[in-house]
Chains A and B, each alone.
Chain A
Amino acid sequence: MKNSYKIILSRFLSNYGMLGILIILGILFSILTLRDQYPSGEDAARSLSKVLSTYSHDSSILIISRDTGDDSLFATSLDKRLTDQGFNSIKIISGDPLTVRKQISALPDSEKVSLIATSYAAAPMAFSIKNEMPGFANTIITPPPPYRWPTFLLPDNLRNVANQIAVIAIMAIGMTLVIITAGIDLSVGSLIALSAVVTAWFVGQVGGESATFWGMVLSGLIGIVLCGVIGAFSGLMITRFRIPPFIATLAMMQVAAGFAYVISEGKPIYHLPESFILLGRGAEPFLKIPYAVILMIILYIAAHILMTRTTIGRYVYAVGGNMEAARLAGIRVKRILFFVYMLCGILAGLGGVVMASQLKSGAPTYGLTYELYVIAAVVVGGTSLSGGEGRIFGTLIGAFIIAVIQNGMNLTNVETYTQKIVLGLVILGAVLLDRLKQMGMGKK
C-alpha cells in the first residue's frame, strides 16, 4: 500500500508542519545570539585544564574563585584535573576579595606563584592582585578560554525556555481537547489564579512554612480538584442547557477570578515552605531537566496515547468532526463534552499549582490573559477552531514556538511592548502559513 505511506506522510506534514517553523525560529535566534560565552563550574574547569596542560608541570598554580556553588565546583574540579595531569604545586583560595587578599599575603614567599587560574567571577580580583600586590608582576593569569556559542542554545537557557512554558503547555493539553470538540474554554487563566491561591491558602492551613510534604500534596490536589469541579460545571452548562461554550466559560472565568480574590483577600499568599518550590524550580540531578518539564512531557505522552489509542480520544475527534453524526453512531456526546471541560479544568488547576510552586506564592493576579496564550499555542499547533482536527504534539510545538519567540526576543533585547506586537504577528503568520499550505493541498 504505497498510497498509504503517501497519505501518512502528508498527514504528518500537515499535522506537525509547525515543527519546521519552530526549527527555523531556533536557528534564527541561535544566529542572533551567537556571542562569546564564558564558561563556569565544571565546564570552565575542563577547558581551563586543557589550556594549562601546555605549561610545565612544575609551575606552581594558584586557583582563585569566589565562594559561590558554581565557583567552588570550578575550583575543586580544576584542582582534581590538574593533579591528575601531574601538576604538583596547586593551591586553592576562594572567598570574597578581602579574604582572598588576606590569604595570599599570608602565603610564604618561598611558594612563588607562576600561574593564577581563575574563574570569570574571580578574574577582576586576580588582575587587581597582579597589579597591586608585590611578587605577582610576572604571574600569568589564565581565566577559562571563552568560546563562540549562541546564548539561545546554552543548556541553561533551553531549560529555562521549557520551564517557562510548562504551565501554558500543560493547560494547552486540555484546551486542545476542548477545541477539537469545536468548543473553547476561556476560564483557564482564572483557574490558574484560583488553583494557586487555594493551594497556597491550604498550605497555610496545614502549617504554612512548616507544612509537610503530604500536606502540600493534599493542598495541591484540593486546588486541582476544585478547578476540575469548575470545569465540570462549565461542561454541565454546555451539555445540559446548551449554553455556548464561549459564554459558559466566559462566565466561569469571572466567577473563578472572583473566588481567587475573595479567598486571598486580594493579596498574594506567601509563607510557603522552602520545599514547596521543588515542583516549579527543582530539576532531576542527571540532565538537570526541571521537574515541571518532566511532568509536562509525561502529560503530553499520556494525552497523545489518550487521543490516538483510546475510545475516548476517537470520540473526542468524532464529536468535534460532526456532533450529530457522532450521536447517531451511538456516542454519548454529552459525556464526552463533559469530560473534556472537566479535564481542561483539572489541567488548568495543575498549571496553577506549578505556577504557585515556581513563584513560591499564590496570588489572584496569576494567569491573567493566559487563556489567550493557551489558545494561541493550540491554534499555532495546528488544531482547527472549527473542530474535529488537531494533534496533541502539535500543541506542544505551538507552545514552544511561543516560548522560543518570547525567549529569543528577551535575549536580543527586544522591548516588552514590541514583543507583544511581534508575538501577535508571528501567531497570525504561523496560522496563515498553515492555511496557505492546506489551501495549496486542497487545490492540487
Chain B
Amino acid sequence: MKTNSPNITSILQITGIRKAFPGVQAISRASFDLNPGEIHALVGENGAGKSTLIKILTGAHKADSGEVLLDGKLVSFGSPLEARRAGIAAIYQEFSLIPSLPVSANIFLGRENTTHGLISPRREIKDTIALFNRLGLKLDPETPVGNLSIAHQQLVEIAKALATKSQILVMDEPTAALAPHEVESLFGILRDLKSEGIGIIFIGHRLEEILEIADRVTVMRDGATIGTWNIGEITRAELISQMVGRPIEEEYPKSKAIFGETYFEVRGLTGGPVRDISFSARRGEILGLAGLMGAGRTEVVRLIFGADNKSDGQIIIGGEKCDINSPKDAIDCGICLLTEDRKAQGLILMASCRENFALPNLESWSHLGFVDSKREIDRFSERVRSLNIRLSSPEQRAEDLSGGNQQKLLVARWLETNFEVIIFDEPTRGIDVGAKHEMYLLINELAARGKVVIVISSDLLEILEIADRIIVMREGQISGEISDMATATQEKIMALAT
C-alpha cells in the first residue's frame, strides 16, 4: 500500500477533509492527491462520500475542516465558478448540454465571445473545429447536440470542459452510458489528455475499466479514504473487498434455477427501429439481451411492455396471446419492466419512497378507490426489510436515496405485482459493487422461483456471467444467439453486435 506522503510534484493535494450534513457525517477523514499527467481513480460504494469529496473540490460544498492545496497553494472555493477559474473542470453524469443548440454553441455556452455584443456563430464553429482537432474528435460542430448519441454528447461535454484551460479534469462515471467501443475511444482521448499533463480524477463503478485506464486508485468507504494503490499492485478482488469492507467470495453469483416449460414468447415484433423480433424464454431462465447502444434492445422491451406502440407482432405468455397496448395491459398480463433510466422513467423523484413503492399496486390495495394505507405501509416495511433498502423514513423523498437503493425500491414495487415475466433494463448501471451483488442475487432468486427473467446490459462481462443465454441485437434485429455459455466470450458478442 502506498501512503499519501506529501508529494512536491502533485498539482492537487487534499488532506484531512471533514464534512457533516445535519444528521450525517458525510466525510470523516479524506485525503487525496493528484499528479499532473495522471489518471487517479476514486472508487467506493454509493454513499461512501465520493461525490461529497468531489463537490468540495469543485466548490459546490464547503468542507468543515481540512485543506485543499492547488499547486501547493491553499485554496477554498466558494462556488463552482471559482473552481473552474482555478483550472478545475468537472463533468457530471447529468449533462449540462442544451439539446436544441448546435455543438459549437454548447461548447461556448456561458462564455460566448462577442464583438459589440453580438455572437459570431461562424467564429464559434471555427474555434470548435480547432478544439476538436486538438482533442482528435471528429464531430460536426453544427449538429444540434440532441441529434448526437450519448457517447458523442459525452465527448462534447469533455470538449466543453477543456475549452477553457484546465489542469484538472474531474469525471463522474463517464462510461456509464457508453458502449464498449465508445469507452475505448474515450480512453484514447483520456490518454492524450494525460500526455498533455492534465490530471484526471476518474470516478467509476466498472472496475475492469479502472484497472485498464487509471494509474492509481483511491478507495473510499463510509466517508473515509481507505487507501491509495498503484494499479498493478492491486487485484480486482482486493479492490472489491476494500470497497465493501469484507471479502466477497464471488462477484457474479451463479443462477441455480431449474428451467421449466417455454413460457414467454415474442413473435415478429416490429415497431420503431425494431424489425421482426422473435424469441422465446423458459421459466427459470435468465435471458440476456446484448448489443451496442442504439441496437434496439431497450426499444424491444418497451414494445413488449406496451410503452411504445408496436406496428406488428404478438406476445404470448403461457400459451396465450396477450393484447398489450399500454404498460397497464402489460402489467395486467404479468410483465414488469425495470426501466434503464430510473430517474426519468422509474421514480417520481419528489414523491416519497412509500408512494413510489405503492404506485403500480394501488389498485389492488384499495377498496372502492380508497387506498388501504395500513396494507400499503405493511407491504412497504416488509419489502424494505427483505431487500435491505436503506432509507431514513418511508416519507423520505425518492430523490434522496442512493442509486442502488433507488433501484431496489423500483424492483421492490414490481415484486408486489402478479408478475411472471420481469425485464431488467441495465439493472446495475450507476450502482455500487455491494448493490450490484444484491441485484444479481435477486435476479437469481426470481429465476429460481420460476419467473422468466430478461436482462439487458451493456456491461459484457456482467451479461456473460449472469445470463443463461444471450440474444445479440444489431440495428433493430436479432443478429445471433449464444446459448453455450461455457464457450461464450466478450469477443463473440462483439462479433455479433457489430
Using CB atoms, name the residue of chain A closest to B369. Answer: A310
Do residues B348 and A318 form an inter-chain contact, with CB atoms below 8 A?
yes
Whether the pair B393, A325 counts as a contact (CB closer than 8 A) is no
| Cβ A311 vs Cβ B366 within 8 A | yes
CB contact under 8 A between A311 and B344, given known A7-B393, A8-B395, A388-B351: no
A contact residues vs B (CB 8 Å cutoff):
1, 3-4, 7-8, 11, 309-312, 314-315, 317-318, 321-322, 324-332, 388-389, 444
Shortest distance in angstroms between B10's beta carbon and chain A's nearest beta carbon? 31
Whether the pair B349, A321 counts as a contact (CB closer than 8 A) is yes
Q: Would you give 16 A-B contacts (Cβ < 8 Å), ordered by A?
A: A7-B392, A7-B393, A11-B395, A310-B371, A315-B362, A317-B351, A321-B351, A324-B344, A325-B346, A328-B337, A328-B346, A330-B359, A330-B360, A332-B326, A388-B350, A388-B351
Indicate whether B169 reaches chain A with its CB closer than 8 angstroms.
Answer: no
Q: Assess whether A389 is in contact with B346, with CB atoms less than 8 Å apart.
A: no
17 further A-B contacts with Cβ under 8 Å, apart from A330-B332, A330-B360, are A4-B393, A8-B395, A11-B395, A310-B370, A314-B371, A322-B347, A325-B348, A327-B326, A328-B327, A328-B339, A329-B327, A329-B359, A329-B360, A330-B331, A330-B359, A331-B360, A332-B328
Residues in B whose Cβ lies below 8 Å from that of A315: 362
In the complex the two chains form, what is the Cα distance from A318 to B362 in whole Å? 12
Please name the residue on chain B nearest to A388 by beta carbon.
Answer: B350
Please, which residues of chain B bring their CB within 8 A of the CB of A309?
A: 370-371, 373
B362 — which chain A residues lie within 8 A by C-beta? 311, 314-315
Instruction: Tell me which residues across on chain A come within 8 A of B327, comparing CB atoms.
Output: 327-330
How distant is B194 from chain A, measured CB to nearest CB, in Å? 36
Q: Is the interface of A mostly helix, strand, loop or mixed?
A: helix
Q: Tell me, rounded to whole Å, the shortest Cβ–Cβ distance linking B335 to chain A.
A: 10
Most buried by A among B21, B328, B413: B328
Min Cβ gap A318→B in Å is 5
* Total contacting residues, chain B, CB less than 8 A: 37
Return chain A residues, CB-CB under 8 Å to B396: 7
- Complex CA gap A332/B360 in Å reads 11
Given A322-B348, A327-B327, A328-B305; A314-B359 close (CB under 8 Å):
yes
In the complex, B345 has a CB within 8 A of chain A: yes
B-side contacts of A312, CB under 8 Å: 369
Q: Does B22 contact A (CB under 8 A)?
A: yes
Contacts of B358 in A (CB 8 A): 314
B121 on the A face (CB < 8 A): no
B348 x A444 contact (CB < 8 A): no
Complex partner residue of A328 from B345, B393, B394, CB under 8 angstroms: B345
Shortest Cβ distance from A313 into B: residue? B371
Interface positions of B from 345 to 396, Cβ below 8 Å from A: 345-351, 355, 358-360, 362-363, 366, 369-371, 373, 392-396
Assuming the A-B contacts A7-B393, A11-B395, A328-B339, are A311 and B348 also in contact, with contact meaning beta carbons closer than 8 angstroms in the complex?
no
Nearest CB in chain A: distance from B362 CB, A: 5
Minimum CB distance partner of A322 in chain B: B348
Q: Which residues of B contact A326 (CB under 8 A)?
A: 348, 359
Query: Are A328 and B395 in contact, with the CB atoms below 8 A?
Result: no
Contact B345 A324 (CB under 8 A): yes
Which B residues are in CB contact (< 8 Å) with A329? Answer: 327, 359-360, 413
Bound together, the chains give a CA A330 to CA B346 distance in angstroms of 11
Q: What is the chain B residue whose CB lies nearest that of A7?
A: B395
Counting chain A CB atoms within 10 Å of each CB, the highest count among B330, B358, B362, B373 belongs to: B362
Q: Which 6 A-B pairs have the closest CB atoms?
A: A321-B348, A330-B331, A329-B359, A330-B328, A329-B360, A4-B393
Chain A contacts for B21, CB-based, 8 A = 444
Closest to B365 in A: A311
Q: How far is the CA of A1 from the CA of B349 in the complex (A)?
A: 22
On whether the beta carbons of B394 and A311 are closer than 8 Å, the reply is no
Q: Can you list, as one digit per residue, whether each of B207-251 has a CB less than 8 Å from chain A (1) or not (0)?
A: 000000000000000000000000000000000000000000000
* Cα distance A7–B22 in the bound complex, in angstroms: 13
CB atoms of B355 and A314 under 8 A apart: yes
Q: State whether the Cβ of B460 lies closer than 8 Å to any Cβ in chain A.
A: no
> In the docked arrangement, what's the CA distance between A404 and B355, Å?
35
A308 → B minimal CB distance (Å): 9
Question: With a CB–CB cut-off of 8 A, which chain A residues contact B148?
Answer: none
Interface centre among A1, A7, A329, A331, by most B CB within 10 Å? A329
CA distance A127 to B180 in the complex (A): 102
- The chain A residue with its CB closest to the CB of B372 is A309
Q: Which chain A residue shows the least CB distance to B366?
A: A311
Which A residues are CB-close (under 8 A) to B393?
1, 3-4, 7
Residues of chain A within 8 A of B332, CB atoms compared = 330
- Return the contact of B347 from the options A8, A311, A325 (Cβ within 8 A): A325
Q: Which residue on A lies nearest to B347, using beta carbons? A: A325
Contact residues in B for A322 (Cβ distance below 8 Å): 344-345, 347-349
Q: A310-B369, A310-B370, A329-B327 are in contact. Are A4 and B394 (CB under 8 A)?
A: yes
